């Protein structure tokens, strides 16, 4: 039977591992400044090829609060197929000004760095229809032609052309189409089909990184001596740590997780709290101000 110390050690280790995987980026990303906004569009235009759906909203906007749960539900439904973001025009006024937002909510949909649709109002049906359309287009065009596939294609269907090309020219063709695949590779396949009577090189789906690995989180460079990075060196070894060390590390990570959770809740909360609507702040007698006179004013009050 394991000792009490061994059980405590095992429990602490399990809790630490759970905390490591518990937190992820909110489904709906709250874009807080214009640099983050531009970086978001650039990253998904050049790296992932995923559609980006942006909700420009205001806390005091009734239709914005009405559509927020639907927007969040869509982010859950289309996770890893599209990116959902929101911009508070009162906090991120630079982005709102650059995008010329005049009414709320305003939705803008981007694919491969280009705006594909824009509309104002809580039209959730149009939002869902356009999102599905862009996802289908993204999946169709997010392909990659490998060097081996292109070389094999020319050897089989254009041997005379292949005699004129070396590996460098083949690689130049792929580089011009775009590194890593995407719409450029889709255009290359389309052009080759037209030229060679429907024949085209084999393709594979473009490798799309998960949303948690955003461009703003670059990998830590290796140490000059080829060893582990400083950050990795500072991480405790769970297999060699004592119970006290594990408890200390657990407490530290709980605090970090609480801070991350608070930030995530702030990002996900689209419904502001208005004191006037809180029941505890209201009395049994309501004060009513009638604007206007005559039957119209009385009807409005009722």
CA end-to-end span of the chain, whole Å?
A: 73
| Alpha carbon distance 184, 49 (integer Å) | 11
Q: Are 103 and 63 in contact (CB under 8 A)?
A: no
Given 9, 12, 41, 64, which residue is catalytic? 64
Of 61, 135, 243, 264, the catalytic one is 61
Active site residue 64: yes
Q: CA 248, CA 12: separation in Å to the nearest integer?
A: 10
Q: Give the list of residues 6+ apart from residue 150 with CB closer than 8 angstroms, or none.
A: 170, 173, 174, 201
**Residue 158 annotated to the active site:** no
- CA gap 239, 235 in Å, rounded: 12
**Residues with catalytic roles:** 61, 64
């Amino acid at each position: 039977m394991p000792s009490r110390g061994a059980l405590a050690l095992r429990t602490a280790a399990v809790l630490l591992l759970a905390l490591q995987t518990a937190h992820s980026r909110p489904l709906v990303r709250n874009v807080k400044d214009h640099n983050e906004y531009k970086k978001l569009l650039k990253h998904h235009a050049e790296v992932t090829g995923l559609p980006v759906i942006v909700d420009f909203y205001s806390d005091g906007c009734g239709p914005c609060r009405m559509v927020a749960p639907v927007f969040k539900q869509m982010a859950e439904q289309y996770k890893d197929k599209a990116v959902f973001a929101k911009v508070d025009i009162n906090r991120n006024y630079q982005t709102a000004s650059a995008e010329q937002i005049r009414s709320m909510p305003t939705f803008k949909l981007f694919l491969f760095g280009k705006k594909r649709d824009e509309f104002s109002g809580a039209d959730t049906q149009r939002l869902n229809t356009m999102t599905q359309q862009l996802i289908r287009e993204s999946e169709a065009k997010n392909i990659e032609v490998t060097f081996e596939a292109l070389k094999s294609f020319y050897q089989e269907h254009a041997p005379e052309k292949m005699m004129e090309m070396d590996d460098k020219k083949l690689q130049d063709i792929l580089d011009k189409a775009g590194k890593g695949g995407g719409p450029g590779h889709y255009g290359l396949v389309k052009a080759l089909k037209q030229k060679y009577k429907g024949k085209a090189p084999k393709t594979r789906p473009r490798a799309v990184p998960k949303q948690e690995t955003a461009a703003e989180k670059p990998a830590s460079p290796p140490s000059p001596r080829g060893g582990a990075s400083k950050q990795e060196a500072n991480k405790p070894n769970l297999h060699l740590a004592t119970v006290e060390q594990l408890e200390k590390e657990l407490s530290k990570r709980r605090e970090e997780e609480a801070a991350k959770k608070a930030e995530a809740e702030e990002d996900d909360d689209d419904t502001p709290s208005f004191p006037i609507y809180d029941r505890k702040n209201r009395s049994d007698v309501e004060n009513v101000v009638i604007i206007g006179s005559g039957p119209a004013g009385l009807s409005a009050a009722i």
